[in-house]
Each structure stands twice: as C-alpha cells, then as structure tokens.
Structure 1
Amino acid sequence: MARPVTNAAFEGLLRAAGYGNAHAAFARQLNHAGRNEGRWRYDAASVYWWLRGRRPGEHVQVAMAESLTRRLGRSVTLTELGFVSANSLGSCVYPASVDSAIDSAEQVWTTLTKHTGEQASSAFDSGRALQAALGWRYDLRDETVSRNGRQTVSSTDVQSLHALADHFTDLDRRHGSGSPRTRSVMADFLMRQVAPMLRGTYSDAVGRDLMRAAATLAGQLAFMSYDAGEHAMAQHHATLGLRLAKAADDHLYGAHLLANLATQAVFLGHAREAARLVEAAIDGAGRAPAAVLARLHATAATAYGQSGERRACQLALAKAERALDRTGTDPGPRWVGYFSAAHLAGAALRCLGDLHLYKQALRHAPEALTLDSQNFRTRALHTALSAMTHARAGDTDGACNWGRKLGQQAAGIQSARVQQRVRELTTILRPQQASPQVNEVLHTLASMPAAI
C-alpha cells in the first residue's frame, strides 16, 4: 500500500506543471538541470519519496524551482516547494537568478528576525564559498532587473536605503556587532521594508541601484553576524550580497564582499580557501581604484600568511602598500573609505606574525593604532594582536603593556572576534602566570565582562 503524500505543496506544483502522473519525466528534467553534478541520478522513486517527506539538498531544490519556473511561466520560490522549514536556513547556495536571490533574502531575513541570538544550525562552508566566488565571477551579466510588482520604487526610495546602510555601518564600528538587538532591528527593517521593495515595480536603472543598496545592507549584516560569531548566518548574507551585487552590475562591491568572506575564512582557519576567494576578488575587480586594490591585497596577505606562503604574503603586502600610496588621487567608492594605513599595518602585523617574523611584524604595531577615533573595535583588535605578537616573540614586558591597554579598550565592545583575541592572549600568557605582572594582566582580562 502506497504511503500518503505529506508534501502537498510540492504535489500541487507537480500537478500544475503537468507532472502529476509523470514523475519520471520530472526526474529527467531535474537530471538535465543538474547535469554538471555528476552524482545526480534521480528517477520516479526519488519523486515518490520527496512527496512523502524526504528532503533533498538545497542545491537540488534550487534546480527544482528553476525547472518548475520554466514549465509554469512564473517564479517558483524555494518556500513554495514545501521542503524548507520557516525556521531553517538550509545550506548556503549562490542564487542562480535575481528571483532566487529575492526568495533567499526573504527566507534568511525572516529566519533572522525570529531567531536572532541563536546560533545557526550549520557552520561556515568553504566549499560553498568557493562556488559562490565562481558564480559571481563567471556567470553572465543579468540583461535586465526591471520588475512589475505592487509598489513603485523610486530613486529617492533607494537613496534612503544607502543612508541607512551608512548608519548601521557606523554603529558596528563604534560598538561591535555582539548585540542581538541591533541585528534584529536591521533584519526586521530588511524584511518589512527592503523585501517588498525588491518585489516592487522599478526600471532597470532604478532596479540596479536598488540591488546595490540591498547588497550593501546584506553585506553589512553579514559582517555584523561574522563579528558576533554567527558564521553560517554571515555566510548566507555575504553570498546573498554577492548575488545582489552581480545584479547591480557592481563588480567592485562584489569583490569587497568576496574579500569579506575571505577574511571570515582566515578567522576560522581556512587559509587556502581564503586565498582562492581573495584571488577571485582581485581578478573580478579588474582595473579597480587604488583604495579597493589596497584593501584586496591586504586581505590576500593575511590569507597567505596564515597558510605559510611567505613570498606570496610579502608580495601582496608590497602591492597593498603601493596601492595605498595612490589613494590620494584614486580614492574609490565611499564604502572603501574606511581602509587606511592603520588597517594595512594591522594586516601586516597579523600575517607577518603568522609567519613567525615577529621583529618585522612589530615594526607595524605603532601605525596599526593610528586609527580614526571612532574605530573602537579595530583599535582593540590591533592592540590584542600587538600583545600576542610581543608574547610570541618572548617579550613579556611588551605583552603585558599591550595587554593592559587591551583591558581598557575592549570594555564595552560587543564582538566575538575581540573576545577570541582576549582568549588567545590569555592562553599565551598563562604559562608565565607566576610572574606578578603577567598575573595582573591575566586577572584584568579574566574580569572583563563577556561581550557575547
């Protein structure tokens, strides 16, 4: 006796598309759509089990939605398939189309508004990140992003989104991203205001600017989630931002987001994958403004440093320095204006330390602290790096001096990254806790309130 159908939504779509009694035909269409995936060998039995509760992978669901979209002549979202739980992020797949990107945005933003502060069920997926890089770099440009929907979107509406993105960026740099409330407010705004705009009516020109604004907001939320230690959520938003930047035809911001993914990968120890990500970013950025190139090459240096590629690391640092010297006449987009000589010095301190070139690394420590007065989190991160590098070089006095400064600077900053640096410094110093000054610093760091 056949089991009853449990996924009525999927069954309804199959019937509407003419596959109600032709499950094998639908499976063949799906195999054709996934022909680049050598392991795809679905048949009528596969469809039988999908109808009865078995859940295919996210990449298979994307292919299903696209096949049904072509057949029905309208957009079919992943949610309509009935497989995705409203509270599940699923796996992080680079959307194949603008419509799929909008669907993914709604799903991720809805999930975040309901579960901010909870860790996503999955971790950072370096393989998916590399697939996103390939899609962003080599997929064809979207011919048009114009759309007809319920509300008309104007250029003025889009400009207000850019202004709000600047506001959230400022909050992040001042206080860190550990506050679930800040991310919840941003996610709620995205779901209630930005998602309806993406489904509105707009011309191609307005639409591309809208995609750029939405990419900027998604990218900012990605970085905030990364700083808060929510790495799966961060990757989802960075991937979404990449696809929206592709739709906006903004290859520079796409390269920036890809470099952010590389930075996250370095933090999590995926050095080789990080290097590939930032190499794709540099390649895709092309003849970019000097400030953008400086930032990209600095990120490449951190990836090479962590993977032990000394020559590549030093070459990337040299390229970043030369590019930074040209920023006076070639400043680049507004969003890269934050990147300064202090940020490059912080990258040099990090990657040269990873290569055990501590004397060279510490030459960059003073400049790494010459930051804008509002960059509280970056100042704490660079101070922690300086303390750790002194400790690893055997300079206990220097490590303690910087450690005391860190105790002052990190107070009140809500950042998982800062807390991780504090823990790393504590681990390095603990074997010398018999020393009164080391014990004092360890006590100061241990008494700091948890930021996350």
Structure 2
Amino acid sequence: MAQQKTPNEGLARLLREAAWSETQLATAVNRVGTEVGRPTKYEQSAVSHWLSGTMPRKEARAAILEALSRRLFRPVTHAEAGFPAPEGNGSPLGTVEGLIDLGRQDMDPSRRSILGAALFSVALTIPDWPDVVGRVEAFAAGEVTRIGMGEVQMVEAMTERVSGLDDEFGGRHARPMAASFLVNTVAGYLKAQAPDNVRKAMMSAAADLCYLTGYMAVDEGLHGLAQRYYLKALELAGAADDHLTYCTTLRGMSVQAVDLGHGQHAMRLADAAAAASPQAGPRMRAFLAGQQAHSAAQLGNAEEALRFMREAERAMDVAESQAKAFGSYDPSSLMYHLAQVRHELGDEAGAVESMQESNRLRHSVYRRAKVRHLGLTAERQLGIGHLEAACLTWGEALDDYPVVQSGRCDERMREMVSLLSRYRKNDQAKTLLERAKAVGVPVAA
C-alpha cells in the first residue's frame, strides 16, 4: 500500500501570506528560471502537487524560495517552505578562504555553467557598516612573506588595468583574469604579515578588485555570481575601514537590481549606500542621488525621483567646479540617469534626448558602454516611431560591437535584430540586418 503524502503546510502558509494563487506562484517561479537561463513551464497543477506533499526538484526549490522572497520582501528559508536543508549547508568560510573558493570556481571553465545558474536574490543579507568593520579574521599566517605598500600599489595598478580592458573590450575575458589574480596573488597577500596600515590598504585594494570582478559578472548576466563577489567586497571594505568602496559596492548592487526590474530592492540598496556615506564628496553624492532617482522612478514615485535628480544635478555642478576625476561619475553618467528616470516615468521622447546627450558626452575609451547605450538609444528611438534615426544609431553601435566581448552588448544587438525583423522591406533596416549577420549577431530567417 502506497504511503500517503503529508501536505506541505509551510508552503501553503507562505502562499497565503503572499496572497498568491497557485497559478501566480507557478508564473513567478517560471520568471525566476528564465532569469538564470533555465526556463521552466510550471502550471497550477505543479503547485497543487507541491502543496499536497510532492517534493519539488532541487532547482525548483531554489526558484520557489526566491520567488516568495521577492513577493514578501524578506528571506524565505528551506525549513519555512517545508523543504529539506540544502546539502553542504555547514558553517560559512572565512573571508579569504571564501574568496579563494569563489575565484577558483570562476577560473574553472567546467564550473562556469553552475556559477551562471546562481539566482539573483532580493533577500540577500547585506551586512551593515558597523557589522563589517573589524569583523574579518586576522590574516597573518607567519609562513607567508611580509608585504609592504609596494604590493598594495601593484594590486591597485592591476585592478586599474583590468578595469581599462573591461571598459574598452568588455569583461568576458578580463573577469577570469581578475579571478586568477585574486586566487594566486591577492589571497596570499591578505594572509601575509604586514603593519596595520599596510594590511588595511591591501584589504581595501582587494575590495576594489572584488567589486570590479562582480561588476564584470553583471555584464555577463551572471547575477548570482556577481552578488557573491559584491558581498566579499563589502566584507573587505569594512575590515579596511574603507567607506568609499563599501558605498560604491552598495551602489553597484543597486544598479544591478534596478536593471533587473527590482525597484524596491534597488531603492533599499541605494538608500543604504547614501546612509553609509555621510561624508561623501560631491561626485559620489551625485551618483548616489542619481541611482536613488532611477530606483524611485521605477517604483512610479515621480516626485521623489525628480527631487533626487535635482540633488544629483546640484552635486554634479559642485563636482565639475573642482578637479576632474576621469573614470568616475561624470556629466555623461548624470544624463544617463536622467534618461532612465524619464523612461521609467513614461517620457520616451525626453528619454531619447537625454540618452543622445549622454552618448555625446561619453569619453571614447568607454567602448563597451558606448555600444550598450547606443543600442538602448536606438530601441527607444524606434519605440517613438523614428525608424531611420534608430537605424543610424544602431549602425554606430555596430561599428564598435565586433571588438567588444560583453553579454549586455550581445543582448542589445540581439534585441536590435528582433525589433528590425518586422522592417525587412525598409532598405536601412535590411542593410543593418545584413551587417549584423556578417559580424556574428544571430539573425532570424
């Protein structure tokens, strides 16, 4: 006689708390699966089976927990949902050991698909500044060579060079290089004996590199992996008493969230970054306010969004009156934020105008950003009926696209092909599609 299944009361309770139907949960789980490149087609019947006691597959459990966490704006645990604890759920690794483990996985091509499937989580626990200051374990190990400021400067220089490669050519090849450097060089320095000022400077340099590596993971659409690098950056920045990198990382996490459409999570992260940087300079203040404006606009809060944009503009005016800081937030970035705010608030013509101004102001070395933002500009030009102008903008993006290795740029070019497919009888669109096919952008038959 078959053993009777026990209904999953935990999952049922969460479903009631979420005020979702079984069909709505199935739809949310499918959406999470699509985000990580593993689309599913669950329907109401699957949820009914889960509620009756059928255990979902391991991948489905992760997606269910993430979907419910997003809906409830809090972490939902395996136990709470009536699922068994995940395997290997032991004590967390120390900061350096965890960084080595993460970097080694990222360096290994056979592990990339697994890392890429990691879910972006809105329920991720973000350590507050007081929690990370001094929390990282002591690194001195005795047997490792003593380091000085020369090694710190070398790490900083390497980070700057990798960042330059990312800006010009995209991060697809640069990120594994950064991961290898983290494992084979930086981790050893973090364990070395050093005076306190050198040790903090090295942790700060390592935090910068972790942030950059996470940013490059975002560029490839590896959002769960990016979050893991960002968390390491927060831990190291806190240990180094480095407010700037801590706030920069929170800001980057907010950018990641808003680009994925998680406005409320993005707003929380942007607010946290602003709260953690009471003494931020005007350029950082402009970036933080611009990010708060974008997040507020995505939530439909026009008044707050415009207030934050005015604050960003005032801060940028002050920053531009001081020494220029090439490579940081600049007028081009500010116009991009204004374009995003206008787009979120439904002003598509204004969004196009601001994007064009942003593109005009951008430094030529930022080739990856140029391709991505030109693609986005063209999509919005087409959205307001300007086909010929959109084709000219896309053509400019295609000029640089072949030398850029970037997941987000690939996405913009695929979107171009998809949108132009209905305009094949237009000579400009036809020519553009032929160019796209010639440089390797997939073109539908």
Query: 2:155 & 2:349 partners in 1: Cα distance?
Result: 45
Q: Which residue of 358, 362, 369 corresponds with 1:371?
A: 362
Say how many residue pairs are matched: 362
Deviations 1:258-317 (A, max 9, x none): 111111222322222112111111111112101111122222233233333322222222
Q: Which residue of 330, 348, 355 corresponds with 1:340?
A: 330
Unaligned runs of 5+ in 1: 1-36, 42-48, 63-77, 79-99
What residue in structure 1 maps to residue 400 of structure 2? 409
Matched, 1:175 2:169: yes
Task: Give the partner amino acid of 1:262.
Answer: S
Q: Quickly say closer, same or farther: Cα 1:252–1:388, change in 2 above 3 A.
A: same
Deviations 1:364-409 (A, max 9, x none): 2332122212111111122112211111112222212212212213
Whether contact under 8 Å (1:265, 1:273) holds in the other structure is yes
Query: 2:167 & 2:306 partners in 1: Cα distance?
Result: 28
What residue in structure 2 maps to residue 356 of structure 1? 346
Matched, 1:101 2:95: yes
Q: Please state whether the residue corresponding to 2:416 is helix, strand or coil.
A: helix
Task: Give the partner amino acid of 1:194.
Answer: V
What residue in structure 1 maps to residue 215 of structure 2? 223
Matches within 5 A, 1:157-176: 157-176=151-170
Question: What is the percent sequence identity of the aligned residues?
Answer: 23
Query: 2:176 & 2:352 partners in 1: Cα distance?
Result: 39
Unaligned runs of 5+ in 2: 1-74
Query: 2:429 & 2:135 partners in 1: Cα distance?
Result: 62
Whether contact under 8 Å (1:146, 1:201) holds in the other structure is no
Q: Please state whether the residue corresponding to 1:421 is helix, strand or coil.
A: helix
Q: Quickly say closer, same or farther: Cα 1:225–1:327, change in 2 above 3 A.
A: same
Q: Please state whether the residue corresponding to 1:327 is helix, strand or coil.
A: helix
User: How big is the alpha-carbon RMSD for the aligned residues of Structure 1 and Structure 2?
Assistant: 2.9
What residue in structure 1 maps to residue 378 of structure 2? 387
Whether contact under 8 Å (1:297, 1:319) holds in the other structure is yes
Matches within 5 A, 1:113-192: 113-115=107-109, 118-119=112-113, 120=115, 122-129=117-124, 131-132=125-126, 135-139=127-131, 141-142=133-134, 147-149=139-141, 150-151=143-144, 152-179=146-173, 182-192=174-184
Task: Give the partner amino acid of 1:245.
Answer: A
Q: Which residue of 310, 314, 317 corresponds with 1:322?
A: 314
Query: 2:390 & 2:338 partners in 1: Cα distance?
Result: 18
Q: Quickly say closer, same or farther: Cα 1:300–1:406, change in 2 above 3 A.
A: same
What residue in structure 1 maps to residue 304 of structure 2? 312
Matches within 5 A, 1:200-349: 200-329=192-321, 337-349=327-339
Q: Please state whether the residue corresponding to 1:440 is helix, strand or coil.
A: helix
What residue in structure 2 maps to residue 55 of structure 1? 87
Matched, 1:444 2:438: no
Q: Please state whether the residue corresponding to 2:432 is helix, strand or coil.
A: helix
Q: Quickly say closer, same or farther: Cα 1:415–1:147, change in 2 above 3 A.
A: closer
Whether contact under 8 Å (2:413, 2:441) holds in the other structure is no
Whether contact under 8 Å (2:166, 2:216) holds in the other structure is yes
Given the two structures, how large is their TM-score scaled by the length of structure 2? 0.74
Q: How far apart are residue 166 of structure 1 and its match?
A: 0.8
Given the two structures, how large is their TM-score scaled by the length of structure 1? 0.73
Q: How far apart are residue 38 of structure 1 and its match?
A: 11
Whether contact under 8 Å (1:136, 1:242) holds in the other structure is no
